[in-house]
């Protein structure tokens, strides 16, 4: 397997091989796998799930099989222990990451937002498997409240409400991640007129969310980037949650990040 060290993708290849062989009523035969992609590892951007999904689809393609998303999700969870819902297209979902089940489809798309991305902790990777799993009844109640708010935000395309949900969720997750930059991040969001902040559930990638309809948006985005620099938080890229704006309107927008691809 190339590159070496992608143990989760390797496990997914073995599992997918077994599933596809069973569908053909034959024995697994093995093969060679090559993975390519430019998603940073360990920042909470779903790099391992991207690897796993690309692997499963490549193995299935080699067998001439089209596996449903539900099957890919089950394989991904077995290979990773917990998976992102990337196999279910780009719709906003509530997903049981350790079970591979879609609990709720929240809508067709997230509310429109422009995101100034950044990396916390100097962009250091996080060992997601070492993070503790917290179980608190008050957390469950808080997240259920946020779930109801998120439903409304998606239904009404309400960017401001999306920002409130995202900031509250990031704050709750601080009990596990303990980002020292969190107060600075929320302070920059408040001072530049952003609607909120987001932080990866299990990593150091973060962003400050703006409503694209906000007056003076270009100026606010530049102020935000400068403020991040002053705080020693490295800006990464500015992107949108929608496809209607062009690079001429947001000339610094970069949406070129490529998911993993695999071939067998």
Per-domain residue ranges of the chain: 7-104, 110-240
Per-residue pLDDT tens for 187-220?
A: 999 999 999 999 988 778 899 999 999 999 999 9
pLDDT in tens, 113-138: 999 999 998 877 666 656 666 666 66
Q: Which CATH superfamily is domain 110-240 in?
A: GHMP kinase, C-terminal domain (3.30.70.890)
How do residues 51-63 score in pLDDT, each as one tens digit? 999 999 999 999 9
pLDDT of residue 189: 98
**Closest alpha carbon to 8 in 63, 73, 81, 96:** 81
pLDDT for residue 158 is more than 80 = yes
Mean pLDDT for the chain? 87
Average pLDDT over residues 97-106: 92
* pLDDT, mean of residues 78-103: 90
- 89 pLDDT band (50/70/90 cuts)? confident
Contacts 24+ apart (CB under 8 A), 149-155: 150/92, 150/106, 151/106, 151/107, 153/111, 154/92, 154/106, 154/107, 154/109, 154/110, 154/111, 155/107
């Amino acid at each position: 397997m190339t590159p070496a060290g992608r143990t989760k993708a390797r496990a997914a290849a073995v599992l997918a091989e077994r599933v596809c062989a069973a569908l053909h009523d034959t024995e697994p035969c093995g093969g060679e796998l090559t993975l390519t992609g430019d998603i940073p590892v360990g920042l909470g951007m779903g790099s391992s799930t991207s690897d796993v999904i690309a692997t499963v689809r490549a193995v299935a393609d080699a067998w001439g099989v089209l596996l449903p998303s539900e099957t890919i999700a089950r394989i991904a969870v077995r290979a990773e222990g917990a998976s992102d819902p990337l196999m279910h297209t780009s719709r906003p979902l509530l997903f049981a990451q350790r079970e591979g089940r879609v609990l709720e489809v929240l809508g067709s798309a997230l509310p429109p937002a422009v995101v100034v991305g950044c990396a916390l902790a100097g962009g250091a990777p996080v060992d997601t498997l070492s993070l503790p799993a917290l179980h608190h009844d008050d957390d469950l109640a808080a997240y259920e409240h946020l779930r109801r708010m998120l439903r409304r935000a998606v239904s009404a395309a309400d960017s401001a409400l999306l920002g409130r949900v995202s900031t509250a969720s990031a704050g709750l997750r601080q009990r596990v991640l303990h980002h020292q930059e969190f107060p600075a991040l929320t302070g920059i969001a408040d001072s530049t007129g952003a609607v909120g902040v987001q932080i990866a559930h299990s990593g150091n990638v973060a962003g400050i969310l703006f409503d694209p309809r906000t007056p003076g948006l270009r100026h606010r985005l530049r102020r935000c980037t400068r403020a991040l620099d002053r705080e020693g938080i490295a800006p990464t890229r500015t992107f949108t949650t929608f496809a209607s704006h062009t690079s001429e309107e947001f000339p610094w927008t970069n949406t070129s990040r490529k998911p993993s691809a695999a071939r067998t």
